[in-house]
Amino acid sequence: MVINSRFFNRSELLGFLALAVLLLLILPLSLDIFRLNLVAKYLTYAFVGIGLVLCWGYGGILSLGQGVFFGLGGYCMAMYLKLEASSVANTKIQSTPGIPDFMDWNQITQLPLFWKPFHSFPVTVLAILLVPALFALIIGAAMFKRRVGGVYFAIITQAIAAILTILIVGQQGYTGGINGITDLRTLHGWDIRTDHAKFILYFVEVVLLFGCIVAAQFIRLTKLGRILVAMREQEDRVRFSGYSVANFKIFAFCAAAVFAAIGGAMFTLEVGFMSPSFVGIVPSIEMVIYTAVGGRMSIFGAVWGALLVNFAKTSLSESFPQLWLFGLGALFIAVVLAFPNGLSGIWADHIQPRIDRLFASRKSKSAAGLVADGAPAE
């Protein structure tokens, strides 16, 4: 138990440092700005993955609708950026200057009420965090209080993803429809399209990602995290012990939603647009796949999963434009069949023991004769 009560145990600390070195030093120094921007795009899915580890890996709540929250965060950011790009000077060609171009195409002559708050940056940041949290709260309260769980919950989240996509596509005067919100230019007057801005945004995102990793780790290690695991294993026993299972589930679901929303907002900044194709069922399932490949029990695994799967996606599709989807599909099947715990499972089963042995042998050399106080616990 000694090691476990620390914030990070040794292997987690190692994982944290390895990721930090990779993301903060190796990648920025070795990649050109185009590839670095791609890595930034991949990492936005890591936010979703971290949320899924908490809610699915630990809480046992499989959500197939994380795209909804990713999209909500992304759309909030996109609305702010779009309003800034739609200044009267930029849009004088339109019949109503000063509103986003797609509204003008749809004969809307006045900015809709729900767009107005997004003129303000602080409100936008709050909205990115609160809108998805509130939405998750409503869904969670409606489902978990009625003890809807497991497969039914997964199906309902998927239905919500489908509904939201249809809503966004259908209300194109207000949302940009299937094209999404495109042609975003500046953030608070700062041009986000330049290489320099992309470089800075990358670091902002990595810092946010580590913030989320630490927050997720914190949740995992508190009593709350233990109750989540207990709930996953024996829900009734936790309920009979006097805990409100529903409230804990709602919390995990909301936390996952907020992480996904941060990812979505960063996605909008990195890629420069937002569209309903990130909200629907397919992207939501892809996000679960990243997490599964990385290992749903491991926060770092989720980050690696998002990075590697997306990297494979890019490089396979560049080399084999017509066949790459089959290759990727085969990769998923292979990973899930051979390593049910994903990449982190491979790490824990095959690489971790070697490192442990290395450390153990060093320790026994240096502390020969003394009581081995730091021997692997549990």
Partner 1 sequence: MSDETKPGLKSPLRRKLLMGMAALPAVSMLGRPAFADVPATSAVNTTGLAVTDSEVTVGILHSVTGTMAISETGSVEAEKLAIEQINAAGGVLGRKIKFIQEDGASDWPTFAEKAKKLLVNDKCAAVMGCWTSASRKAVLPVFEQYNGMLYYPTFYEGLEQSKNVIYTGQEATQQIIAGLDWVNKTKGAKSFYLLGSDYIWPRTSNKIARKHIENHLQGCKVVGEEYFPLGSTQFNSVINKIKLTKPDVIYAIIVGGSNVAFYKQLKAAGIDLSKQTLLTISVTEDEIDGIGGENIAGAYACMKYFQSLDNANNKAFVPAFKKMWGEKTVIGDVTQAAYLGPWLWKLTVEKAGSFDIDKIAAASPGVEFKGAPEGYVRIHENHHLWSKTRVGRAKADGQYELIYETADLVEPDPFPKGYQ
Piece of the chain touching partner 1 by CB under 8 A; list 60-68, 111-119, 299-307, 317-325 = 317-325
Residues 6 or more apart whose CB falls under 8 angstroms from that of 277 comprise 180, 283
Instruction: Pick out residues in 95-114 that bind partner 1 (CB under 8 A).
Output: 95, 101-102, 104-107
Piece of the chain touching partner 1 by CB under 8 A; list 31-39, 129-137, 247-255, 335-343 = 31-39
The answer to whether residue 366 forms part of the interface with partner 1 (CB under 8 A) is no
* 3-state secondary structure at position 28: helix
Q: Look-up: residue for tokens 């041009």?
A: 191
Q: Which is nearer to partner 1, 4 or 30 (CB)?
A: 30
The answer to whether residue 90 forms part of the interface with partner 1 (CB under 8 A) is no
* Terminal CA-CA length for the chain: 6
Q: Tokens standing for 252? A: 């995990």
Q: Which is nearer to partner 1, 332 or 339 (CB)?
A: 332
The answer to whether residue 271 forms part of the interface with partner 1 (CB under 8 A) is yes
Give the count of alpha carbons within 13 A of 109, CB side only.
1
Min dist CB 79 to partner 1, Å, is 16
Min dist CB 190 to partner 1, Å, is 15
Q: Which is nearer to partner 1, 76 or 245 (CB)?
A: 76
Q: Tokens standing for 123? A: 């409100």
Piece of the chain touching partner 1 by CB under 8 A; list 122-130, 236-244, 299-307, 321-329 = 321-329
Distance separating alpha carbons of residues 255 and 249, to the nearest angstrom: 10
Distance separating alpha carbons of residues 223 and 106, to the nearest angstrom: 52
Min dist CB 61 to partner 1, Å, is 28
Q: Which is nearer to partner 1, 37 or 344 (CB)?
A: 37
Distance separating alpha carbons of residues 22 and 346, to the nearest angstrom: 20
Instruction: Pick out residues in 153-192 that bind partner 1 (CB under 8 A).
Output: 166, 169-170, 172, 177-180, 182-184
For the packed helices 281-294 and 33-52, what is the interaxial angle rounded to 10 degrees?
A: 90
- Is 366 buried (19+), middle (13-18) or exposed (0-12) by CB count in 10 A? exposed
Which helix (H) or strand (E) element contains residue 190?
strand 190-191
Min dist CB 131 to partner 1, Å, is 22
Residues that bind partner 1 (CB under 8 A): 32, 34, 37-38, 41, 93, 95, 101-102, 104-107, 166, 169-170, 172, 177-180, 182-184, 193, 271-273, 275, 277-278, 314, 317-318, 321-322, 324-325
